[in-house]
Amino acid sequence: MAQSGVDHALGAPPQHLFRSLRNRRTALNAVLTITAFALSALAMLPLFSVLYMLIVRGAPLLSADLFTQLTPGAGSVGGGIGNAILGTLVVVVVATLFSLPLGFMAAVYLAEYGGDAKLAITVRFAGKVLTGMPSILAGVFAYALVVATTGRFSALAGGIATGILMVPVVMLTAEQALLMVPSKMKLAALAMGANRSQTVIQIVIRTAMPGILTGVMLALARAMGETAPLLFTALFSDYWFEGKLLEPIASLAVLIYNFSGSPFPNQANLAWAGSLVLVVSVLVVNVIAQLVTRRQEEQ
């Protein structure tokens, strides 16, 4: 019979079907499960802590003043973050103007024309490297390219630096979106006599637009919060943006950085208020991006 002698050799007592914590394997299993859950809770804790701080320390400052007043100098009370908000918008616009055409068209090349060509492989590789590049190096480059040559710190330099960080995100997500366009659509267009460019422009890009937009928005969300590229390119300013791109400009990110080390409570509070505005903006953009993809999936 299959039973005799086997269980002893296996080291398990026969007929031991009962659940018991004294069984080493069962106890170990329970301990590991508890540990894993504890670690997971630990991992989620910082998010709630950050959100809590944003609300507790940032929300009290929400007022019209916050959005309309200029940033106070060191030691001053009052003021707001209006110029910083505007400055962030300006920088992001410059960054998008720089990165969107570049990333998008490169993605079109990769998805539609590149295939496995040597150039395509190189472009993809460049994209991957750019993704992993420390953000401060984008700032260093923009410094070398713009600040050193123009002799001044400027919003333009900051925009370019931020744009560099956006390029790989735009390029890679746009490529994905373009590749997802079903080939039967392309074949249908070609069969109707459209040439390659027409197919790509009118059919492929059109269809992939939601996905591309999502990618752009995700890149945007990231760009809004980038600080390192702006530290020595756009610097900071306590004044409103007046259309001069070759001047330093305020930004939420640099504001937070500058005020984080301030011993004055007013500045610290403004840093939290700025963080709240920044995080909410980033989340809103992310949510919009997700809604766009969901609407496309439903079609």
Taking CB under 8 A as the criterion, which residues in 95-124 touch other proteins?
101-103, 105-106, 108-110, 112-114, 119-120, 122-123
19/233 Cα distance (integer angstroms): 66
Nearer to other proteins, 74 or 148 (CB): 148
Residues 129-158 as b or e (16 or more Cβ within 10 Å = b): ebeeeebeebbbbbbeebbeeeeebbbbbb
Nearer to other proteins, 4 or 64 (CB): 4
Show the site string, 59-98: x = touches other proteins by CB under 8 A, - = not.
----------------------------------------
Binding other proteins by CB under 8 A: which of 34, 36, 55, 188? 36
∠ CA 176-177-182 to the nearest 5 degrees? Answer: 105
Binding other proteins by CB under 8 A: which of 70, 86, 140, 179? 140
8 A C-beta contact, residue 80 and residue 69: yes
Footprint (CB under 8 A) of other proteins, residues 159-218: 164, 167, 171, 196-197, 200-201
217/282 Cα distance (integer angstroms): 9
Candidates 40-48, 61-69, 89-97, 209-217; binding stretch for other proteins (CB under 8 A): 40-48
96/217 Cα distance (integer angstroms): 10
Q: How far is the CB of 102 from other proteins (least distance, A)?
A: 6
Q: Determine if 26 is a binding residue for other proteins (CB under 8 A).
A: yes
Nearer to other proteins, 47 or 191 (CB): 47
Question: Cα-Cα-Cα-Cα dihedral of 89, 92, 98, 99, to 10°?
Answer: -150
